[in-house]
Each structure stands twice: as C-alpha cells, then as structure tokens.
A and B are shown apart, each in its own frame.
Chain A
Amino acid sequence: MSFITGKSIPRRAFLQGVGATVALPFLDAMSPAFAAPAKAPVRLAFLYVPNGIDMKNWNIEQEGAFATPFPRIMKPLEGFKNDMIQIGNLTHNSGRALLDGAGDHGRCSGSYLTGIQVKKTTIDIKASVSCDQLIANKIGDQTRFASLELGMDDSRQAGDCDSGYSCAYTNNLAWRSETQPLPPILDPRALFERLFGTGIPLSPAEKERQARYRRSILDFVMADTRALQVSLGPTDRRKLDEYLSSIREVERQLVKAEKDSIAINPGLAKPYGVPPDFAEHFKLMTDMITIAFQADQTRVVTFLMTREGTSRSYREIGISDGHHPCTHHQGKTDLMEKVTQINEYHTKQLAGWLGNLKAAKEGDSNLLDNSMIVYGAGLSDGNRHLHEDLPTLLIGRGGDFLKPGRRVVYRRETPMCNFHLTLMDRMGVPLDNFGDASGRLDPASLT
C-alpha cells in the first residue's frame, strides 16, 4: 500500500497490486485538516481535427458574450457555451507554402504546435520542440507522465503522406526535439496499460493469467482499495467509488471494443483493440484522459483525433466518401454538406467528453474548470487550404483564469504562436519567444 493513513493522504498516493497501479483522484483527505484547500493543478489538452472546418457553420456571428444561437457545427456544444471561448483570426503563417509548394496538410499539422515551417522531406525530418513538450519538460516531473500523446487514426512515421512531406508531420502533434516526434498511442488497450500498469513488465505467466481470466485491474488493487476506503469519509468514499467505476467502465468498453474489432471487420488495418467505431474509440480515449487528469497522472495531452489529410470515411453517419476528398468540394453542395456533417459529428463527440470533465468534481470546482482544452484545426477552409482564421476553441477556465462564454476575434494575421505563448504562461512556462509569435494575446481578451 502506498498511502499513509492517520493524517492527510499524499496527493500522489496510489493503489498498487501485482502488475497494476491506480493513481487516486483528488480527495478531500488529501488536504491536511484546517489547511487551506489544495489548489487543483491546471491541465492542458490539444484536440486536433484535420482538413479544416466548414467555417460558415463554425464561426459564431457576434463577438463578445454568446447571445445568438450557435451555428450548426457548434450546436452540439451549446450546453457548454459558458465554458468556452471561440477564437477568431489566429493564423499559422508557417503552415503556408512559403516557397515550398504543395503540401498544406503536411505543413499545417507539422507547424500546429511547433510554430515553425517544417522541412519538406520524407527522410531527414525537421521541425521543432512543440509547445506541449516545452510545458511537459518544465512541469512533467510533477506527474507520473510528463505528457500523453494520443491519436485515433494512423501512426505511420515514415513515407510520404502529403506531396513530399513525411508522415511524421501528419501523424504527430508533439515533438520532443527537432527530429523526434512523439507518436500517438492509438490503441485504447495500450493506453490503459500505460496508465494502470506498473511500468514493470509482467512475466509471460502473469500476463497469460491476466488475459485468461480477464480480471479487472481493480481486482489487483483490491487490498489497497479496501484499506483506503476504511480511512475515508463518506464524500471521499463516494468520489473514490465513482472514480473506480469509471475505470471499470473503461475496461468493459475495452473488452467490447476488442471483440467488435475482430467480429465486425477482421481485415481492418488497425492495431489490436482499436474500435472500428469512431465514437466508441473517441469515448474510450477521452475517458482515459479524464481518469489521467483526475488522478493527476499527467497535465499535458495532445490528441490527434484523426490525422491531417485523412481520407477516413464515416459510415456510422452514412458518409462513405473520404473526409479529405469531401473537403475539396469545389462548391458542390452535396460534398459541402458531408464536410459539415463530419465536423458536426466531431463536435458531438467532444461534447460528450466535456460533459464527463464537467461531472468530475474537484474540490469546489470540476475538472473542466481546471483545464484548458484547445479544440482546433491547422486549416480553416479545407477546400482552399487557408491557414488564417484557424478554427479554435478554448474550453474550460484554466483554474479560474479564463472568462469563457464569448467569442473573441483578434486582428488578421495574429500568429497562432501568440496563443501558444499565452497558454504556456498559464501553465507556468513563460517563454520570451516561440515560433513566429509577435507577442502574447491581450490578457484582457481572455481573462
């Protein structure tokens, strides 16, 4: 058992068993008696959607406090209108051609968090340390994982994914160094094992035993759980039960997804355990991000919902055409409608996750309040490959920092890197410069 009873429980306490570790969420018992309540940490997540967004159905008409009905793509998020800021006119100049010719998809995802024009190559890749990693480098030692890199689409790291741009640019958001991207975890099972494994490899016999009996990770930490429950008050006990239930639910989903993956489409070129259904996959991944945030396993997440330039189809909503071909609609209304539907489908999934974050209580607030969730794309108009007015949502309050519930528009050509610098400030990593930033966003505009 790794927690201490008697006085307060350490924030970094966890339940342990053979081959399993379950970090704890924030509990009242973690605050010493009579001490001021501990301040919850601020979490940052970047959710990236590819191929631009139908801006006509994205941008909210009026600036300032949300007063008009949300446009179609934003509609699923209407329940969170007091939790978000829609930002207009951020530009990634380094995503533009700048003499490098075709390859907007490769460039825009490569530059999204690195802020620089990536080298056009399929061999000797070169970008820059991404802003999430600059944060992780500074605060990562306070959590079990400095950062988590997740995705749902494609993790190829080599080959040409867009007009001479390496797949390393389209398939990663996070870059540890100029030449080292951090490939996302696509398989929910792999993410689960990363979050709840001890990091010590199980022996083949132990692995087999776990698999054969499909035992819950919670079974392995049962002894610690019981011991902890005895020492908790009723509020904390309920909180712990909810938290452990959410882990159990993820396990159930995983098992179901693994069965479905084989039964529905055995030929699907996806890692074992990756659910064929987008919504199911998204829910699994984001449920685990929620758990990781709750347990303060990490404070920095990048999540490539699908890779830039993806031609993924969305048969679950009746769209068999690829996403990317649809975005090059050239004004054809049927294709434009499909793009809007895909964008809308994405925000529906996002809304589901935001609901979970909001429901996760944390002291007097909730997980969403203590987070900054950036949802956006590296292109605005996917048909014309525009790199200005990039669709950007900043969701959450960043721990009583942001004043959401409005649309904020900056001047044209305002560098996206100004936004990154502002986020880094809030995460406790103030830098003089980043990418092509010309300064910070006006703090008064967001706070």
Chain B
Amino acid sequence: MGIAYEADLENRIDAVLALAMLYGITGKNEARNIAFSISRPNIKAAQFADVVAGFYGGRAAGGFAMIGMPERGLPADASSLILATLQRKTTEGGPAYTSNISRVLDTADNAVLTRNQLLAQNDGNATIVLAGPATGMAKLLGLYGSRPQLEAKVKQLVVAIGAFPSGPPDTSIKADVAAARKLFAEWPTPLVAVGAEVGAALPYPGSSIEKDFSWSPAHPVADAYRVNQRMPYDAPASALAAMLYAAHPDDGYFKLSAPGTITVLDDGRVQFTAGAGGKHRYLIADPAQTELVTNLYTGFVSAQPVRGGPGRGRGAAPAQQQQQQQQTPAPQAAPPKPTDSVPKPAEAKP
C-alpha cells in the first residue's frame, strides 16, 4: 500500500509524530511513503519536513526532498514547534539541522504532487492520510480528470479531523470550512474519519521521547515534541491513529462506526448521520487494544532509519526522492547510531 500524507506540521505535534511513523512503517516495508505535503503555505514547515526526510532517507549534497505545499490560501503560521527545532544548535554552535529548501519554488504544489504520485500506484493500492486543513485535497478533487484517477487509485481516504459522533469545532476544519465541506461531500472513495476523541483516548506517551530516542543525539521529531509543550506531557494523537489505521486497516487495532455521511457545519463542527449507503465511517478507539496500539505508536515513531533510505525494496519513495538518494545516501542530520532497543511493532500484533 502506498500512503500519500498531507499534514499541518506547524500546528499539530501528532501530525509530526505521524510523519515519523510513516517513515517507520516504510522502513519496515509495511507500506510505502509515496508523497508528503504540508497543508499550509509555510516555507519553514517545508524545511522541517525536508529535515525529517533527510534524517530518515538522506539527501543529495545540496539537494532536498520533494515536499508538496500550497502556494497560497491559508495563513502561514510560524509555530515555535517548527522554528525552535530548526534553530537548534549543536554543541559546537552550528545548526543541528539544515535544509536547502529556501523558497516556494523548491516545493511542489501539494495537489499536483499527490496526483502525480498516485498515478504511479496500482489501482486500489493507495491510501491518503490527511491531518490538517482540507484545502489541498479540495484542490486535488478539482484537478482536471482527477476524479476517475482517485476512484481507481485510492482505496480510502483517512482524515484526522473532526470529533465523532459529536464534539467541539475542529481547528483544521475551521481553517477552511469550504474545503472540508467539499471534501466530505465529493470525495469519491470510502472515507474514514479519526476524531479528536480517538486522539485523546490514545495519546502518544511523553515518556517515550526520553526513553525511545536515546539512540540519536539529535532527532527532529523528538525535538519538536519537546518544544511543543512543557514536558512531560502525553500528546493527543488522532493523526497517529489515522496513519496506523491507513497502513494496517484490517489488523483490528480500532473499531469502525457503521457507514454514514459526514457533513460540515459552519462553525467547524462535523455531523455524522448513519446510513447504509454512506461512504463515510469514523474510527473508534478500542480500550482492549490501548496498550498494543501505544506500543505500536512508540515503536514506529522511534524506529531508526533504514540504511539506503525509506521504502527501498518492496516499498519505494517517490521517484524524485529516490533519484536524490541514489546520489548521496548520507543524511545531513546527525547520523543515528544503531541500537537493538527499538520495540518491534510487527511482532506485537494480536
């Protein structure tokens, strides 16, 4: 299964964790990372995504990863989560992380990038995960000729937005209500929503940050977690649930609602109406699986990079990334040291 991921990295630490999880899953050949986009026009967030890509997969000298980003539309936040991580210094005073992305031209349009990478997938062999505003997905829906392509290629769309069956307004939806409305109304394949209640029930344990990342002297995701909020804290993580479900939809880690239809209200809340013909479902946390799911979270998120880049072999990174990796596989971030202490999520399956 190829996973295309779009996320609001600057405002959601769970979206950052889910990016690390995607690399972890890809490194274990349990899915393929086919495209990544940030959902707001923020060059700093693109740099951060590039740093993470470089950390896991390596980049050519002077090169950078293929990152999708909208050119305009939503306000660009420069959150401390991103900035503080990018500004981290080494003990020698140099930058701990570097990115050669410096301007919008270094990125691709998020809708076009996702569309292009989907076309390289076998029919029904791709899943899209969204953890942020729906602006890019709405644009993807509007690209000429994209609907039949989406129908053919995308098995399902998993969105980590909203609250189900009811809840407060969602920040990602409020950021672009029209886009979210279009997404739920027009998306042509099955859609699974992961609400805030799942994120609250299955948070990412803050203790993992100190315990599971010790193999790396500098880890951009762990650093982002630390600056996001005063430690220690457990981060609500609906994006992680969405990513885990996207990669392992049939493994019983979660329950699913009955089918129905999700509609978006003006104030950013969502409403689920059950109905046999509906294409939407929402994810339900299963208390019986809490420990297992948490172990999977920490195992995938803290997994070490696989030498040779993510997705080699059975799983493949986007063509452009592969080409860059072939030039110089060495990551620019501090190279992590091997360790045997990483949990093995795949072995922990029920």
Contacts and interface: CB of A to CB of B under 8 A. Distances in A.
Instruction: Give the interface SS of chain A, mostly helix, strand, loop or mixed.
Output: loop
A386 to B, nearest CB: 7
Contact of B323 (A98, A384, A415): A384
B105 A99 contact: no
Contacts, number: 55
A410 B105 contact: yes
Contact of B105 (A98, A388, A409): A409
Contact of A99 (B107, B108, B120): B120
Interface in A80-94: 89, 91, 93
A96 B319 contact: yes
A432 B108 CA distance: 22
Given A409-B105, A411-B104, A438 B323 contact: no
B239 to A, nearest CB: 25
Interface in B93-122: 104-109, 111-113, 115-116, 119-122
B143 interface: yes
Contacts of A388: 320
Nearest to A93: B116
Q: How large is the interface on B (under 10, 10 to 19, 20 to 34, 35 or more residues)?
A: 20 to 34
A96 B316 CA distance: 15
B13 to A, nearest CB: 27
Interface in A397-428: 409-415
A415 B313 CA distance: 29
A433 interface: yes
B109 A436 contact: no
A433 B145 contact: yes
Contacts of B145: 433, 436
Contact of B144 (A91, A412, A437): A437
Interface string A110-139: 000000010000000000000000000000
A223 interface: no
Given A93-B119, A436-B145, A438-B143, A412 B323 contact: no
A436 B143 CA distance: 8
A95 B301 CA distance: 36
Nearest to A63: B105
Contacts of B112: 413-415, 438
22 contacts: A89-B105, A91-B116, A93-B116, A96-B319, A98-B119, A384-B323, A410-B105, A411-B71, A411-B105, A411-B107, A411-B108, A412-B105, A412-B106, A413-B109, A413-B112, A413-B113, A414-B109, A433-B144, A433-B145, A436-B115, A437-B144, A438-B112
Interface of A: 89, 91, 93, 96-99, 117, 384, 386, 388, 409-415, 432-433, 436-438
